[in-house]
Structure 1
Amino acid sequence: MDNTARKFDAAAPQLRPTPQPQTRPVPSARPKTVAQPQRVPFSMVERVLTACIGLATVGIALLILSTQFGLASTTRTYQNLQTKITSASDRVTNYQQSVGELTASSRLAAFAQQHGLTVNDGNIKQVTK
């Protein structure tokens, strides 16, 4: 019979493999010893290197802080100078405007009339560059 198809009989008991009970290992008379981790002491070279690295770290941190404080101080000084320059530029502009207003020809003519002065065109010289 080469056919793999079989007739299924529901009433017939099916054979299942029975599970085998697991056997526990029997503890031996001697308990197993587990190696406890032990601390390895630092050698003198490792201590010196650790101290040097610590000092270098502290030194670099202090250098960075010093640089930041210096940069903040320089920035503050720069801003103060910029404020002074802006203030001086504003004053110069105001002075130039005042000079322009004081030397206006209409103002000079009005001042001359108030004080009884007249313009003599023969005394006026033209200067050109």
Structure 2
Amino acid sequence: MDSTARNFDATAPQLQPKPRPRVQPQPVARPQRVPFSMVERALTACIAVAAVGFALLILSTQFSVAATTRTYQNLQNKIASATDRVTNYQQSVGELTASGRLAAFAQQHGLTVNDSNIKQVTK
């Protein structure tokens, strides 16, 4: 009978695996701090000074805007108060110069109206 299996010859030389060369593990490099050069230090200092300067400039501007706003509001309050006083004075003048009041005052003090002394001015 034909078989797909073949006969194993025990005397056949066996292949020996090739010895692999030993790989030495590479030492892991530890990160070392690189010192700043003088140029880098000067540049870092300049940037820090500029950042602090900008922050102070912004704060100063905010404070001056707040002070200006407060001054503006105070002036607006004073203007509103003065406008109210002017309106009150105008109303008082209107009441004091009303023709009925003047006629009553004249009658109380015995004064009469002389029409010939009244002048009308027209534009």
**TM-score, structure 2 as length reference:** 0.79
Aligned to 1:84: 78
The aligned residue for residue 52 of structure 2 is 58
2:104 is aligned to: 110
Aligned to 1:14: none
1:126 to 101, 120, 123: 120
Quote the Cα distance in structure 2 between the aligned partners of 1:36 and 1:109: 110
Q: Where does 1:26-45 land on structure 2 (aligned, <5 Å)?
A: 30-45=24-39
Q: Which amino acid aligns with 1:37?
A: P
- Quick one: distance in 2 between partners of 1:70 and 1:31? 67
**Are 2:50 and 1:67 equivalent residues in the alignment?**
no
In the TM superposition, structure 1's runs of 4+ consecutive aligned residues that sit over 2 Å from their partners are: 28-32
- The aligned length equals 103
1:63-103: CA deviation from partner (whole Å, max 9, x where unpaired) = 10111110100000000000000000000000000000000
Q: Return 5+ residue gaps in structure 2 as ranges.
A: 1-21
Q: 1:128 deviation in Å?
A: 1.9
Instruction: Name the aligned partner's letter for residue 38 of structure 2.
Output: M
The alignment's TM-score, normalised by the length of structure 1, stands at: 0.76
- Deviation at residue 32 of structure 1 after TM alignment: 3.6
For 2:116 and 2:100, the matched residues in 1 are separated by 20
